Amino acid sequence: EFIDKVVWWGISGKQKLSEDFIREFQDKVNWKNISRFQKLSKDFILEFKDKVDWTYISRYQKLPENFIREFEDKIDWKYISKCQKSDLDLFVGSLPFLAGEMELSDLLEDKKYEKILIDSFLI
């Protein structure tokens, strides 16, 4: 009876919620706040891949490289390059995909990738 009185956007970001709780109330929670503020497992993100906010997932969740590769079409590469500790091989391997997803100037802002980008495009 009190479910409809809960401020779901607030609880989604301000309270530590279990994945079971989020799963139970998946139609009530605020998925932007869940994606940003809750620590989510890879399996949970996979289960709710159509509900999570991929920009926030890319920026705030710790993602393993194989997961990044698997969802390269969903993640926000601007934040992957800035916020994730990823191997340069991952980045280089995704250059053809990235060319259509990001502005070159955004990629060049990150000095750790600048040389690789220049070398890749000049070769």
Q: Which pLDDT belongs to residue 55?
A: 95
DSSP 17: -
Residues 6+ apart with CB under 8 A from 118: none
- Run means of pLDDT, 10 residues per run, the chain, 123 residues: 81 96 97 98 97 96 88 85 59 53 60 61 55
Q: Which pLDDT belongs to residue 21?
A: 97
Rg, the chain, Cα only:
17
Q: pTM of the full predicted structure? A: 0.70
Q: Which pLDDT belongs to residue 80?
A: 76
Q: Which pLDDT belongs to residue 24?
A: 96
Distance, in Å, from the CA atom of 78 to the CA atom of 76, rounded to the nearest integer, reads 5
